[in-house]
């Protein structure tokens, strides 16, 4: 510990130049022995000089500046006690919390005002435990622990951080973060706490943080440690554009951020100093002048010039003090000294204060301490001699903390901080943003236009397909691929939308992305996004609950559901006797038998019933004989005509015969109606083909095997479902041997085609539609089992997610998404092939081909041929009788009858007279 070099003495010589006699006021200043000691010294000497030269002040400030080190607690106490014997008006510092406890006690016991400029959480309990009659002597210009915690809580809430990790250097950081932790709700994700420990332990801690997947961080450490922590974080890939940091140290803006090249993370900090403030710039300018002694060189005084000549050989070369590099403690020390002399001047003008020597061993207190404390606490809106650099200093609370102040919210942009808002202690629950949401959106769009998106995908029709290389010139980059995903990203990146570029890459393992509960790691596309090797993941990637916990998704660009792919039934060639299939062979036998039996019964009943014996000569009322027209042939004809719904010109007259005919008609009516209805159903069922219509049908049988892609979203759906039918299907799929799972949808489709209706494949409906457009033997069975969508996967906290959502919504409203789907589903690579077949199938519902009714024509042909054969037989039989009766040769009779038969104009045939008379007799 040592006193300030002769710089301050030079200032004292300066005050003697004018010959004005002023009252000397001793003040004690304890500064840390660190790299900022010189800057703090220059700031103090500058304000002392300005005050000493101030014409309205009749005092000569005499600062006693001491360099202190953290471990010199007892020595610093002795130095303070020795200083008190000279009569001290106020003490400033020390900056070490360990040393401050001793100085704080001395100041309170002897009633000497002490000004602190650091974050002191022990001030409140110290003041509270003091004797009530003791006046408050501790005044801290640094934000209080409660108010700074409130500012951080408001900032975290406005950033909408639901979960984050707190990286802290000491346990005091938890006091700074008390309010953010109190704002957490029970349903919010837990906040992770990680003690940084020693610098050698940083890498281990940050590896643990990386494995946890946290994206938001609150970093609380000394300003000298911030850059060390962030450099290791960058090595661990924790400084991407998806990560965000809030720095609690108020001096974070003073660091050289160019050391971290290509910073993409959002880094936010708070500060009390506005480097752009004219008063701060002017103060820095004056300090730089004092450092170079330029002002002192203008003084024409032999004593001062002698002192300058003595000190100049020992001067060090200082760099200019920049406003952006000023520490908070330096500015607060400047304001504290300014506040003290302003209040003391006002007090002395009223009471003529006397500064008497004091001793640490006696109980004697200062005369001005109590009066100074009352004036500082009770009076508001203090008028200071110099303009304060941290804003107006209006009042202090009963603990000694500064009440009214303002903090700037700054964000890092291209290695420099810019102001994005302010936080005011008078309204602690809100931020005053200087950067509007529209301006942020505009900035984000400009950044998106400059970037090239790394898109990771996997091969799969029609989303991404590899083009064949032309002879002698292999394709490179995006030219290697085509498909729906390529066209979708190309549309998103068009100038009228995001106006960006992209590069497609294949995922190394070819997987969508599944979580392994054993290794606790993801694979596939999700892994690439989690490790930030890709910006977008796009293919037929289903948005699931598990994936949504790992990465974020855009709005779905395609809606779909799980369904069942199966083969169409192969239609067998229609049977010649297809018309007979609605009734079984036994029924046809029973009908034929019934026909013969009923005809026979009709014949018997008609012979027994007297009403069916008729007069052969109606003109003779008293015939000698009656005849019965119901021969067995006529009975068969009646039953046949009734069964064919054609009727007959012969009708029964007896009650019994009519009853028999009525029963037969009823039987014929029912059988005809059943045949017609069953024929319709038979023809319809022959077109339907499929034997399964829903997932319930699959689950209820064991003949047809079924499966899905192994480890995909579909398998997760069945595995995690609570629906009994789907759970039963999952159990059957898991226990099937051989395995029913396939590596890809393409393999599943091949298995369905080759299995000949022995295997069904469960997959997304969009892929089923694609396959059905190209393979007409495939069919979708049943309705959708669920509802979901395909989305573009992005890492959490991706700044471009909202912009992509807006483009997708616009494309949906314009119909571009449907146009892209039609292009790759129905137009390219054989699409639309089965549209004509589908229309033919629809038309077949109202038409029957010749194959279905050919048997009826065969029956007709057979009946006609048989009738012709019977006609020939009857004709030949009649020729024989004519030859016998007319006593001519059969040949002559055949020629005669044949000539008459072919004479189609002959309507009458001559009957032989002898035969006529014979019949008449």
Q: Was 482 annotated as part of a binding site?
A: no
Could you tell me which residues come within 8 angstroms of residue 554 by beta carbon, excluding any fewer than 6 positions away?
791, 792, 794, 801, 804, 805, 808
Could you tell me which residues come within 8 angstroms of residue 744 by beta carbon, excluding any fewer than 6 positions away?
460, 709
d(CA 901, CA 875): 10
Q: Was 367 annotated as part of a binding site?
A: no
**CA dist list (Å): 216 to 156, 172, 268, 369, 677:** 10, 21, 11, 47, 72
Strand ranges inside 292-442, DSSP E? 406-413, 416-424, 432-433
CB 29 within 8 A of CB 92: yes
Kindly report the number of other CB atoms within 10 A of residue 645's CB atom. Answer: 10
Q: How far is the first Cα of the chain from the last one, in angstroms, to the nearest whole number?
A: 171
Single out the residue of 380, 401, 386 nearest to residue 342, CA to CA.
Answer: 386
Whether the bond between 853 and the residue before it is cis, its omega within 30 degrees of 0, is no
Return the H-helix or E-strand segment holding 552: strand 552-553
CB 719 within 8 A of CB 730: yes
Could you tell me which residues come within 8 angstroms of residue 436 by beta carbon, excluding any fewer than 6 positions away?
none
The 3-state DSSP class for residue 897 equals helix
Could you tell me which residues come within 8 angstroms of residue 773 by beta carbon, excluding any fewer than 6 positions away?
825, 826, 830, 831, 832, 833, 834, 835
Rounded to the nearest 10°, the torsion over CA 809, 811, 814, 815 is: -110
| Residue found under tokens 């009471």 | 351
Return the H-helix or E-strand segment holding 133: none
Return the H-helix or E-strand segment holding 248: none
d(CA 251, CA 483): 52
Q: Was 751 annotated as part of a binding site?
A: no
CB 613 within 8 A of CB 628: yes
Q: How many CA atoms lie within 13 A of 373 on its CB side?
A: 24
Q: Was 406 annotated as part of a binding site?
A: no
List b or e across 252-285, with b for residues whose CB sees 16 or more CB atoms inside 10 angstroms: bbbbebeebeebebbbbbbbbbbbeeeebeebbe
d(CA 806, CA 791): 13
Return the H-helix or E-strand segment holding 256: none
CB 412 within 8 A of CB 150: no
Return the H-helix or E-strand segment holding 630: none
Return the H-helix or E-strand segment holding 464: none
d(CA 261, CA 236): 15
Query: Residue 536 has what DSSP assignment?
Result: E
Single out the residue of 135, 130, 139, 60 nearest to residue 366, CA to CA.
Answer: 135
Radius of gyration of the chain (CA): 53
d(CA 245, CA 253): 14
CB 252 within 8 A of CB 271: yes
Kindly report the number of other CB atoms within 10 A of residue 293's CB atom. Answer: 15
Kindly report the number of other CB atoms within 10 A of residue 125's CB atom. Answer: 9
d(CA 17, CA 60): 13
Binding residues: 542, 547, 714, 764
Annotated binding site for L-glutamate: 542, 547, 714, 764
């Amino acid at each position: 510990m040592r006193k300030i070099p002769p710089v301050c003495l030079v200032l004292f010589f300066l005050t003697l130049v004018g010959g004005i006699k002023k009252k000397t006021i001793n003040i004690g200043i304890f500064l840390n022995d660190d790299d900022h000691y010189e800057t703090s010294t220059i700031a103090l000497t500058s304000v002392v000089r300005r005050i000493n030269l101030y014409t309205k002040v009749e005092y000569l400030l005499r600062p006693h500046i001491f360099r202190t080190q953290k471990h010199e607690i007892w020595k610093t106490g002795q130095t303070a006690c020795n200083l008190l014997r000279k009569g001290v008006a106020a003490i400033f510092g020390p900056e070490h919390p360990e040393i401050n406890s001793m100085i704080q006690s001395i100041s309170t016991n002897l009633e000497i005002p002490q000004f602190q400029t650091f974050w002191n959480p022990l001030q409140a309990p110290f003041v509270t435990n003091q004797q009530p009659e003791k006046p408050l002597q501790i005044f801290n210009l640094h934000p209080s622990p409660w108010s700074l915690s409130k500012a951080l809580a408001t900032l975290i809430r406005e950033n909408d951080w639901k979960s984050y990790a707190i990286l802290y250097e000491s346990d005091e950081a938890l006091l700074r973060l008390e309010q953010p932790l109190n704002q957490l709700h029970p349903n919010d994700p837990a906040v992770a706490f990680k003690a940084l420990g020693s610098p050698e332990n940083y890498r281990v801690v940050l590896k643990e943080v990386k494995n946890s997947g946290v994206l938001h961080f609150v970093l609380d450490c000394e300003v000298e440690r911030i850059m060390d922590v962030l450099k290791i974080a960058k090595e661990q890939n924790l400084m991407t554009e998806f990560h965000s940091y809030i720095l609690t140290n108020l001096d974070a803006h003073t660091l050289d951020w160019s050391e971290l090249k290509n910073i993409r993370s959002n880094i936010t900090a708070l500060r009390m100093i506005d480097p752009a403030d004219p008063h701060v710039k002017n103060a820095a300018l004056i300090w730089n002048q004092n450092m170079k002694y330029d002002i002192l060189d203008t003084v024409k005084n032999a004593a001062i010039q002698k002192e300058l000549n003595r000190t100049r050989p020992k001067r060090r070369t200082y760099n200019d003090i920049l406003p952006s590099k000023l520490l908070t403690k330096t500015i607060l020390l400047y304001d504290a000294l300014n506040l003290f002399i302003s209040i003391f001047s006002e007090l002395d003008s009223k009471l003529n204060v006397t500064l008497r020597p004091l001793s640490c061993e006696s109980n004697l207190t200062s005369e001005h301490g109590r009066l100074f404390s009352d004036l500082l606490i009770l009076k508001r809106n203090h008028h200071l001699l110099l303009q304060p650099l941290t804003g107006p200093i209006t009042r202090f609370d009963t603990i000694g903390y500064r009440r009214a102040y303002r903090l700037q919210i700054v964000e890092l942009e291209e290695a420099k901080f810019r102001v994005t808002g302010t936080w005011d202690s008078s309204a602690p629950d809100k931020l005053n943003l200087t950067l509007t949401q529209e301006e942020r959106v505009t900035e984000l769009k400009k950044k998106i236009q400059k970037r090239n998106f790394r898109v990771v995908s996997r091969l799969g029709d029609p989303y991404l397909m590899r083009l064949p290389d032309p002879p002698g010139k292999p394709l490179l980059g995006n030219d290697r691929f085509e498909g729906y995903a390529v066209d979708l990203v190309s549309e998103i990146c068009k100038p009228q939308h995001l106006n960006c570029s992209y590069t497609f890459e294949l995922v190394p393992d070819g997987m969508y992305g599944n979580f392994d509960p054993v290794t606790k790691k993801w694979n596939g596309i999700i892994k690439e996004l989690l490790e930030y090797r890709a910006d977008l993941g796009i293919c037929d990637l289903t948005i699931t609950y598990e994936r949504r916990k790992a990465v974020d998704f855009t709005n779905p660009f395609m809606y779909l559901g799980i369904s069942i792919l199966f083969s169409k039934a192969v239609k067998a060639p229609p049977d010649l006797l297809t018309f007979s299939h609605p009734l079984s062979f036994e029924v046809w036998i029973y009908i034929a038998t019934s026909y013969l039996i009923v005809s026979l019964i009709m014949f018997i009943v008609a012979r027994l019933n007297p009403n069916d014996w008729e007069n052969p000569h109606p003109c003779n009322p008293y015939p000698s004989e009656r005849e019965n027209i119901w021969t067995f042939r006529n009975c068969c004809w009646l039953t046949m005509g009734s069964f064919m719904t054609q009727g007959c010109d012969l009708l029964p007259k007896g009650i019994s015969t009519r009853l028999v005919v009525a029963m037969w008609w009823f039987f014929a009516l029912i059988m005809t109606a059943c045949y017609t209805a069953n024929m319709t159903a038979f023809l319809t069922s022959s077109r339907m083909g499929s034997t399964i219509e829903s997932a319930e049908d699959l689950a209820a049988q064991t003949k047809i095997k079924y499966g899905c892609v192994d480890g995909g979203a579909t398998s997760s759906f069945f595995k995690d479902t609570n629906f009994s039918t789907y759970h039963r299907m999952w159990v059957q799929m898991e226990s099937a041997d051989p395995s029913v799972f396939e590596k890809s949808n393409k393999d599943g489709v091949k298995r369905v085609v080759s299995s000949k209706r022995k295997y069904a494949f469960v997959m997304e409906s969009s892929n089923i539609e694609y396959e059905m457009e190209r393979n007409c033997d495939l069919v979708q069975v049943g309705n959708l089992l669920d509802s979901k969508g395909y989305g573009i996967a992005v890492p959490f906290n991706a700044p471009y997610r909202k912009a992509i959502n807006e483009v997708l919504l616009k494309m949906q409203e314009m119909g571009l998404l449907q146009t892209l789907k039609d292009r790759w589903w129905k137009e390219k690579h054989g699409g639309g092939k089965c549209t004509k077949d589908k229309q033919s199938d629809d038309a077949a519902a109202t038409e029957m081909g010749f194959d279905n009714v050919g048997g009826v024509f065969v029956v007709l042909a057979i009946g006609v041929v048989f009738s012709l054969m019977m006609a020939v037989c009857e004709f030949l039989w009649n020729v024989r009788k004519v030859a016998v009766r007319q006593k001519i040769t059969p040949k002559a009779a055949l020629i005669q009858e044949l000539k008459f038969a072919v004479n189609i104009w002959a309507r009458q045939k001559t009957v032989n007279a002898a035969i006529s008379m014979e019949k008449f007799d």
